[in-house]
Amino acid sequence: MRYGNTILKFVWVIFLTITMTMNAYAAPKNAGKDEKGYFASGQILVHPRAGVDKKKFKNVLSAEGGVEESEIRGIKTRIVRVPVGQEKKVIGRLKKNKHVEFAELDRLVKPVFTPDDPTYPSQWHHTKIGSSSAWDVTQGDPNLIVAVLDTGVDSSHPDLADHMISGWNTASNSSDTTDIHGHGTAVAGTVAAIGNNSIGVSGVAMNVKIMPIRITDRTDGYATWSGIANGFTWAADHGARIATNSYEAHNSGSTMNNATGYLKDKGGVAFNSAGNTGAEQLYSDMPNLITVSATNSSDVRPSWSSFGSYVDLSAPGLSIYTTARGGGYMTAAGTSFSAPITAGIGALILSANPALTFDDVESILETTAVDIGDIGWDKYYGHGRVDAAAAVQMAQSYDPPVQDTIVPTSVITAPTSNLTVNGTVVVDVTSNDNIGVSKVDLYVNGGFYASDTAAPYSFAWDTTALGNADVTLVAHAFDQAGNKGLSSGVPVLVRNIIDNTPPVVSIINPADQATVSGRSLSISASASDNLSVSSMKLYIDGSLKTSTSSGSLSYNWNMKKVSDGAHSIMVEAFDPSSNKGTQIIEVIKSSGTSDGGGGKGGGRGKPNK
């Protein structure tokens, strides 16, 4: 064997890896910082309430100096540009706006990647998790797609190239998935490096397809919540059954819950690493994400592996030999590798039984895991260390739970019965199900209004078009099995002011049928309305000359080149309901010697129309 060249190359790869990783943990550039960490400067995430008119939502953002940059595919959350340094203040005001369901910072998160001292190439984790026995059943369905959400993947690596398919760059919205850091290539090899090819290493699911999704364009490795969320939804829309993400994205609020829920609804399963802080993290469990902490060869948690109530499972994460950017190999450590090892087992489970759902895969992984640490679930190892052999064996004959026939329950909590409302009204719905609610639809007097797919379920109901009406609101709640439950009807009294009265226009000068002469003519007009005047327009001989946003208008008409004879002057006025009032008069231009201009004679204006 060629130990000398191999070891020298290996040491050089590790040296480069350590350098890259040190950069990954440096403070990111162009970032804000608070007590929870870094966030993207001048950028926030905003989700409109269901039913909000696009123009109205744009006006809400504009009032805060915000500009919608893009929408996270599938979940309708907007990436919004705001003034740098004002991110938190803008969010605070938007949270109080009834047209906004939630607003949050677009935080920057780093890959949970810790370099390890080089050892001679070894993949001890396959023996620990029973990969060879699992491979007797399946080595991965060649048509199954695993999405790797990371810094890109080296598509020319000899242990990856033949199984690579097209992916996407959510940071630049392009097809460039080149690995700009090295982390992504290492993760990809852990989950799906090609086996039985006489070179390098074997991934847990060695025959599946790899879909690279680059979630960052930053060479320091940091990525935004929006980039990760876009990665999950893009993977879902392009056929991925498994998606693995090795970034600290657990405490990522509503945006990530919605994105992983979107993948789940499309039949996919998302995995995430627990983190490398070495401390307990007070994160809530994310129901649509399987979170994995690390173990060593003795089934003990390394000191750097994060832990807490959000941990579902544990998997090998120390001295993992895998692919390196540039075509080589490396040994590395971190929950960055525990997650893709578990994702690889998830791919084997779905290869053995493609009909399984997210809940099935999670149940199989947790049921077959080797219980280490405290008996039962614990915050260090979750339900235990993964066991590929047992999981694939169970998947073959897995009998899913009895089909769900229980309908969801829902209650409209706001507005209350017989409340008098007008304008835009926030409708809140509480909905529960024995397994999970997939969406809630709002019906107004029996007609569909809008749909919300993520709790808390909330709608912005625009009542202005109804005028004065007695309305009944009903919420329709659906679960993943298609069961539908209806709320009790809530009667609501809609009382909006309906304005059908147009403004009254008065042309003050000149008078109708006046004879005018001179170099110029001063024209003035006013308008009044039962509510308010929003704009006025002046036309001379059908040509628009000026406009104003108030109830008064003045204009100096240059008459030097105006021909003698009759000329029409028309003034239009509008109110906020677009009612229009008009007055038209006629004046007679006569060449004269006077330079003063102005109207001559009396006359009476034509009536308002």
CB 538 within 8 A of CB 555: yes
Beta-carbon contacts of residue 528 (< 8 Å; ≥ 6 apart): 503, 504, 506, 551
Phi, psi values for residue 133, rounded to 5°: -70, -40
Which of the residues 150, 312, 452, 529 is marked catalytic?
A: 150
Single out the residue of 98, 50, 105 nearest to residue 80, CA to CA.
105
At 602 the three-state DSSP class reads: coil
**Selection from 274, 333, 16, 295 nearest residue 154 by Cα:** 16
d(CA 94, CA 103): 7
Count, residues in the chain: 609
Angle formed by the axes of helices 335-352 and 388-396, to 10°? 20
Cβ partners under 8 Å of residue 259, min gap 6: 72, 74, 75, 228, 229, 230, 232, 233
Instruction: Tell me the Cα Rg of the chain.
Output: 33
Phi, psi of 312 (to 5 degrees): -100, -40
- Which stretch of DSSP H or E encloses residue 439? strand 437-444
DSSP 195-220: PSSSSS---TTTTSEEEEEE----TT
To the query of whether residue 150 is one of the catalytic residues in this protein, the response is: yes
The dihedral region occupied by 580, where left means phi > 0, alpha psi between -120 and 50, and beta the remainder, is beta
Is 567 catalytic? The answer is no
The span from the CA of 5 to the CA of 16, in Å, is 17
| Catalytic status, residue 34 | no
3-state secondary structure of 490: strand
Q: Identity (one letter) of the amino acid at 485?
A: G
Tokens of 61: 């953002």
CB distance 158 to 189 below 8 Å: no
Residues sharing a CB contact under 8 Å with residue 111, sequence separation 6 or more, in sequence order: 24, 150, 151, 181, 183, 221, 223, 246, 247, 336
Catalytic residue, candidates 155, 202, 273, 336: 336
The active-site residue, picked from 47, 125, 157, 183, is: 183
User: Which one-letter amino acid corresponds to residue 383?
Assistant: H
- Residues with catalytic roles: 150, 183, 336
